[in-house]
Amino acid sequence: MKKNSTENVWRVLGLESSCDDTAASVLKIVDNNKEKKVEILSSIVFNQNKLHVNFNGVVPEIAARAHCEKIDICTKEALKKASLSIKDIDLISVTSGPGLIGGLLSGVMFAKGLARGLKIPLIGVNHLAAHCFSVKIFHKINFPYLTLLVSGGHCQFLIVKNVDSFVRIGGTIDDAPGECFDKIATFLGIGYPGGPLVELKSKNGNENRFPFPKPLMDNTCNMSFSGLKTAVKRETEKLIANQGGLYHVDVEDICASFQKTTSEIFKYKTMNAIKFFNNNFEGDKNLAIVGGVAANKKIRHELQKVAFQNDFKYLTVPAQYCTDNAAMIAYLGFEKFILKNHNNLDLVVKPRWPLDQTSTPILGFGKRGAKA
């Protein structure tokens, strides 16, 4: 840390390996005690899409091996792009959960060795919390704020109160939206990962051709996507049975109709979440959209309209920081460090680590604890 009479300058290394993206990032954070100025010096992501494409999903063992092979290379690339040496780093932040245990261990053990050798602090952070805090890298935003976290494995409405206090007011009771994008892409035979491919096919499709169902359209903030996924599969199978296969126009129309339906579910449920926030919390009216599925332009546009219609400020991050990255890990680690909101227990790998520690788990329990 470089320090003068008015400000502290920190260079923070973030490391991410919770699923199928090996990522490293270096942030320069200037803290003058009144506000923080964050500069992303580098953000390197090595994705594993080519390793998993034949399986139409992430294979944990393959992912863990790839993290072990790439995390040091990824870190060197991040330092090179930032024009720094490893000795310039003041703090290391690493994802310690939730996620695939093999990948988490790869990142945490590497980070521990690095921090021990450099004799600098090491902070373990919750990957989902880092997504929620990613908006603070790009926007000045006060607590509490309403967040929709929507990704390949998670979908939750959360009230973010501080670095370790979250209130979950709703979420998916079955499949996560990102998982549905992947599976629908598999049904249609267009490849993996499904999110960007479905969005691409949707551009030329007729979004009104297939009136897919919108499950669980009640007054809660909970969501269900399993029935929608099944309806898309049945429509696909029906077309194949009737005409012997799928035409390009069929694929485009199915993708567009599915994307529209998903957007409408989010719009309706976001309205419910906004009402809940207004009735139960005081403060600035901010709606943050984060997570991999938040990179979808259709979904972003529709939720932006909902925010404006309800006098909420709409906040999100550039598309490359919606998906898994290490910049958000570095930032949250720094926030926890300066608040002294951390201890050695943060470095225990936690494959399951719900943000809301008090509410009843929405997906129940498993051998490793609450699922979400």
Q: Say what the pLDDT of residue 5 is.
A: 47
Q: Are 28 and 10 in contact (CB under 8 A)?
A: yes
DSSP string, 311-361: TPEEE---GGGTSS-SHHHHHHHHHHHHTT---GGGGS--S---S-SSSPP
pLDDT of 32 strictly over 90: no
Give residue 43's pLDDT: 98
pTM of the shown model: 0.94
Q: 361: which residues sit within 8 A by CB, 6+ positions away?
A: 354, 370, 371, 372
Identify the three-state secondary structure at position 206.
coil
Rounded to whole angstroms, the Cα distance separating 14 from 21 reads: 13
Q: Where are the beta strands (DSSP E) in 256-333?
A: 286-290, 313-315
Q: Which of 300, 316, 332 is the last residue of a domain?
A: 316
Q: What pLDDT, in 10s, does the model give residues 85-123?
A: 999 999 999 999 999 999 999 999 999 999 999 999 999
Q: Are 160 and 131 in contact (CB under 8 A)?
A: no
Q: Do residues 167 and 299 share a domain? A: yes
Rounded Cα gap, residues 65 and 54, in angstroms: 17
70 with 169, same domain: the answer is no
Residue 1 pLDDT level (bands cut at 50, 70, 90): low
**At how many degrees (to 10) do helices 226-243 and 177-188 cross?**
10
49-66 pLDDT, tens digit per residue, is 889 988 888 998 999 999
Nearest residue to 331 via CA among 123, 20, 86, 169: 123
Same domain for 354 and 222: no
pLDDT at 343: 77
Same-domain status, 120 and 201: no
Tell me the torsion sign for CA atoms 361, 363, 367, 370: negative
Average pLDDT over residues 127-135: 97
What is the structure's pLDDT at 26? 98
Same-domain status, 250 and 209: yes
For the ranges 52-66, 119-133, 270-284, which has the lowest average pLDDT? 52-66
In a shared domain, residues 88 and 150: no
Task: Please report how the helices 194-202 and 297-309 are oriented relative to each other, as an axis angle in degrees rounded to 10.
Answer: 80
Over residues 73-90, the mean pLDDT reads 98
Q: Within this chain, do residues 155 and 290 fall inside the same structural domain, yes or no?
A: yes
Residues 338 and 222 in one domain: no
192 and 71 part of one domain: no
- Of 75-79, 244-248, 289-293, 344-348, the poorest mean pLDDT is in 344-348
Q: How many structural domains compose the chain? A: 2
- CATH number of the domain that residue 62 is part of: 3.30.420.40
Give 85: exposed, middle or buried? Use CB within 10 Å, 0-12, 13-18, 19+. Answer: exposed
Mean pLDDT of 40-56: 92
Q: If you count them, how many residues does the chain have?
A: 372
pLDDT tier, 363 (very low <50, low <70, confident <90, very high otherwise) = low
For residue 79, what pLDDT is reported? 98
Q: Which residues pair with 93 in a beta bridge?
A: 14, 123
Query: What domain range is 262 assigned to?
Result: 143-316
What is the average pLDDT value for the chain, to the nearest integer? Answer: 93
Asked if residue 306 and residue 158 are part of one domain, the reply reads: yes
Euclidean distance between CA atoms 192 and 215, whole angstroms: 25
As a whole number, mean pLDDT of residues 298-308 equals 96
The pLDDT tens digits of the residues spanning 242-259 come to 999 999 999 999 999 999
Span 202-245, pLDDT tens digits: 999 999 999 999 999 999 999 999 999 999 999 999 999 999 99
The contacts of residue 352 (CB under 8 Å, 6+ apart) are 97, 98, 366, 368, 369, 370, 371, 372
Model pLDDT, residue 370: 56
The answer on 230 and 301 residing in a single domain is: yes
Share of the chain above pLDDT 90, in %: 83
Residues 80 and 221 in one domain: no
pLDDT score recorded for residue 372: 58
Q: What is the pLDDT, as a whole number, of residue 239?
A: 96
Q: Is 34 helix (H, G, I), strand (E, B) or coil?
A: coil
Name the residue with higher pLDDT: 341 or 110. 110
pLDDT tens readout for residues 179-208: 999 999 999 999 989 999 999 999 999 999
